[in-house]
Amino acid sequence: MSEPRLVGVLGGMGPAATVDFYGKLVEETAATCDQGHVPIVIWGDPRVPDRSLSLLGGGEDPTPYLRRGIEALKRAGCEVLAVPCNTAHAFVPRLADEAGLELVSIIEVTADALAADGVGAAGVLATTGTLRAGLYADALRRRGVEIVEPDAPGQRQVMAAIGAVKSGGARPAHRRALAEVSRSLADRGAERIVTACTEIVLALDVSRVPVPVLDPARLLARRVADVALG
């Protein structure tokens, strides 16, 4: 059996999502002892400027902060990079290439799963920056999957729920709103709901959604375990 590859996790965006991702990585690893798990280094820097605001032209460029984290993970000996923040994927592929790290993309992993299931249309709950950058739209359309996005009022509710998780936890009103937006996407033809922001999965009650819900953080964890352990 080959030696496990050291994985760098570029986290802190946000902290709760980073903790959630590591828990899912442990769950998705077929290990029978400590030594069978994926070796990782977590760089958790919550000072990274808001990725969505930057993409919308109203915030500081997060690139220098992301580059600093990736370079630190490289110096630590990491070979594989995982980023449990969807919006950051507008910036990190180029930086991973610069550092010579193999990026396991949360976007591509999720698009692969939808295509493998034969899904024709997927509803995407994400930050406004992720949607405007077309991260999921591009990946899904390359695989013949239609993207269904919230309308403007629904997107405001999504962003409010994301902000609530980042500030300590979503309230019942946020959970109800996310479920309502999800149902509206299903009514418009979405066969799956993608929680395409790693905070959303911490606030959405999947039992109130009429179609299956995909968790990109779990899909990323599963793929990272496969890549790291061979």
- Where b means 16+ CB within 10 Å and e means fewer, 113-132 reads bbbeeebebbbbbbbbbbbb
Is residue 85 annotated as a catalytic residue, yes or no? Answer: yes
Cα distance between residue 187 and residue 11, in whole Å: 34
* Closest among 35, 54, 22 to 224, alpha carbons compared: 22
Neighbours of 2 (CB within 10 A): 6
- Kindly give the pairing relationship between strand 121-125 and strand 213-214: unpaired
Question: Are 166 and 127 spatial neighbours (Cβ–Cβ below 8 Å)?
Answer: no
Size of the chain, expressed as the number of residues it contains: 230
Residue 78 catalytic? no
Q: Of the residues 83, 85, 88, 147, which is catalytic?
A: 85
Catalytic residue among 81, 135, 178, 197: 197
Mind telling me the catalytic residues?
Answer: 85, 197
